[in-house]
């Protein structure tokens, strides 16, 4: 089954996608947002660091954004997962268009914005998954302040955790739990000591209570909060299906974009966590704003044919 033609389809209706939709709705473009509702920060009860919305439930920020965007009559919403995307050539004009599938229904548009977000690949430690976003975090700026300068544990995932451990003493006395992930060299040990970081060599067996760490030697260390740097992957294979260029960052691949958030495929734009190595709600909103304007400019000033 096939459905209406849109100017722009946005896959992902969280902060980045909604911000793109806001610009496009205000430009009176016909927009479809497709979203399956799995925001990256859905595990956290409060969001921090986004001006005017500090310490607000992230679901509330997303719901308020959605209700403001849906006031624009040319914007439509479909709940569900877009599981296929393809480029078409329009009969007659030869112009490129895009088709996406959601639960067996096909939707068509002249431009596509990928606001897919990413999925964190958490370390396989007993008790960690259920504490993610509650007492185990990845971003000190997002959740460090609320620990009130209490004791912080950094669970190493790779040598990148050195950087994490060197940052965290500004938020509280820090212990680096190496957990067999890497062995700091002499210079690194010196840098850690200069920041007052305590090093723990015994492997982590499990997490319990609020943020207690059970070590393999039987000891339990109690912390106010824990941090770990988890690798991630873009939440949906749609970007790869379309064949957009990706770029590798320290924790995973993101979609490569230019200054107006255009991807390597003309007519396809990308924004938010899926298209930038540094992540936050504020950055996703800014990114989405650019992608919305980028897609609108492309509609006004570019004719896109298949290369
Ligand atoms: C535990 C935790 C706490 C965090 N706390 C903070 C904080 O306090 N402050 C802060 O600034 N940042 C925080 N972040 C980071 C923040 O969550 C992200 O930067 C932000 O969510 C990125 O927004 P986005 O719109 O790019 O992606 P997301 O919010 O992840 O949204 C992507 C959307 O796209 C949808 N989607 C993906 N693929 C498809 C598909 N094929 N079809 C349909 N829909 C699809 C998803 O379901 C989702 O709804 C936190 C992250 C985590 C993990």
Measured from the Cα of 118, ligand 1's closest atom is 30
Quick one: pLDDT band at residue 307, thresholds 50, 70, 90? low
Instruction: Give yes or no: residues 25 and 54 share one domain.
Output: yes
Do 104 and 154 lie in one domain? The reply is no
Residue with CA closest to ligand 1 atom 52: 41
Range of the domain at 218: 122-227
54 alpha carbon – ligand 1 mean position (Å): 16
Is any ligand 1 atom within 6 A of the Cβ of residue 47?
Answer: yes
Query: Is 110 in the same domain as 10?
Result: yes
Q: Does 267 lie in the same domain as 193? A: no
Q: What is the CATH number of the domain that holds 106?
A: 3.50.50.60
Residue whose C-alpha is closest to residue 16's, from 246, 254, 286, 238: 286
Q: How far apart are CA 157 and CA 248, in angstroms?
A: 18
Average pLDDT over the chain reads 96
Asked if 198 contacts 176 with a C-beta cutoff of 8 angstroms, the reply is: yes
Residue 199 near residue 150 (C-beta atoms within 8 A): no
The pLDDT, as a whole number, for residue 155 is 98
Atom number, ligand 1, closest to the C-alpha of residue 274: 26
Same domain (yes/no): 163, 253: no
Considering the domain architecture, whether residues 61 and 165 belong to the same structural domain is answered as no
Give residue-wise pLDDT tens across range 234-287: 999 999 999 999 999 999 999 999 999 999 999 999 999 999 999 999 999 999
How many C-beta atoms surround the C-beta of residue 69 within 10 A? 23
Task: Assess whether 220 and 251 both reside in one domain.
Answer: no
The last residue of a domain, from among 227, 244, 278: 227
Position 20 in a domain: yes
pLDDT band at 77 (very low <50, low <70, confident <90, very high): very high
Same domain for 213 and 73:
no
Whether residue 306 is contained in a domain is answered as no
What pLDDT is attached to residue 3? 56
Q: Is 21 helix (H, G, I), strand (E, B) or coil?
A: helix
Instruction: State whether 19 and 108 are in the same domain.
Output: yes
Q: Of ligand 1's atoms, which has the minimum distance to the CA of residue 132?
A: 1
User: Residue 66: which residues within 8 A CB-CB, separation 6 or more?
Assistant: 13, 18, 77
Residue 90 CA to ligand 1 center (angstroms) comes to: 34
Q: Model confidence over 190-213: pLDDT tens digits?
A: 999 999 999 999 999 999 999 999
Please check whether residue 307 lies inside any domain of the structure.
no
pLDDT at 4: 64
| C-beta contacts of 55-60 below 8 A and 24+ residues apart | 58/281
Q: Whose CA is nearest to atom 44 of ligand 1?
A: 35
Q: Measured from the CA of 82, which atom of ligand 1 is nearest?
A: 42
126-185 pLDDT, tens digit each: 999 999 999 999 999 999 999 999 999 999 999 999 999 999 999 999 999 999 999 999
Per-residue model confidence as pLDDT tens digits over 95-132: 889 999 999 999 999 999 999 999 999 999 999 999 99
Does any ligand 1 atom lie closer than 6 A to the CB of residue 82? yes
Give me 269's structure tokens.
Answer: 């734009």
Task: Give the number of domains in the chain.
Answer: 2
């Amino acid at each position: 089954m096939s459905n209406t033609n849109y100017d722009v389809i946005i896959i992902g209706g969280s902060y980045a996608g909604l911000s793109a939709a806001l610009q496009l709705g205000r430009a009176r473009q016909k927009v479809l947002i497709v979203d399956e509702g799995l925001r990256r920060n859905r595990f956290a009860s409060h969001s921090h660091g986004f001006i005017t919305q500090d310490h607000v439930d992230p679901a509330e920020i997303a719901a308020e954004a959605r209700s403001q965007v849906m006031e624009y009559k040319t914007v439509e919403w479909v709940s569900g997962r877009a599981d296929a995307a393809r480029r078409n050539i329009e009969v007659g004009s030869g112009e490129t268009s895009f088709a996406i599938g959601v639960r067996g229904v096909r939707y068509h548009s002249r431009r596509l914005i990928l606001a897919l977000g990413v999925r964190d690949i958490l370390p396989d430690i007993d008790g960690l998954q259920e504490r993610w976003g509650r007492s185990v975090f990845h971003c000190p700026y997002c959740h460090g302040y609320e620990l009130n300068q209490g004791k912080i544990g950094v669970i190493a995932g790779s040598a990148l955790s050195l950087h994490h451990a060197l940052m965290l003493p500004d938020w509280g006395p820090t212990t680096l739990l190496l957990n067999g992930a890497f062995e700091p060299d002499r210079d690194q040990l010196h840098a850690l000591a200069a920041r007052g970081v305590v090093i723990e060599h015994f492997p982590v067996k499990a997490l319990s209570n609020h943020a207690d760490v059970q070590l393999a030697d039987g000891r339990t260390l109690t912390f106010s909060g824990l941090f770990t740097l988890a690798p991630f992957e873009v939440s949906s294979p749609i970007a790869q299906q379309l064949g957009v260029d990706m770029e590798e960052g320290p924790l995973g691949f993101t979609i490569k974009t230019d200054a107006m958030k255009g991807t390597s495929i003309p007519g396809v734009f990308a924004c938010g966590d899926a298209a930038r190595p540094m992540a936050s709600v504020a950055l996703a909103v800014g990114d989405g704003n650019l992608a919305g304007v980028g897609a609108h400019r492309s509609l006004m000033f570019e004719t896109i044919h298949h290369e």
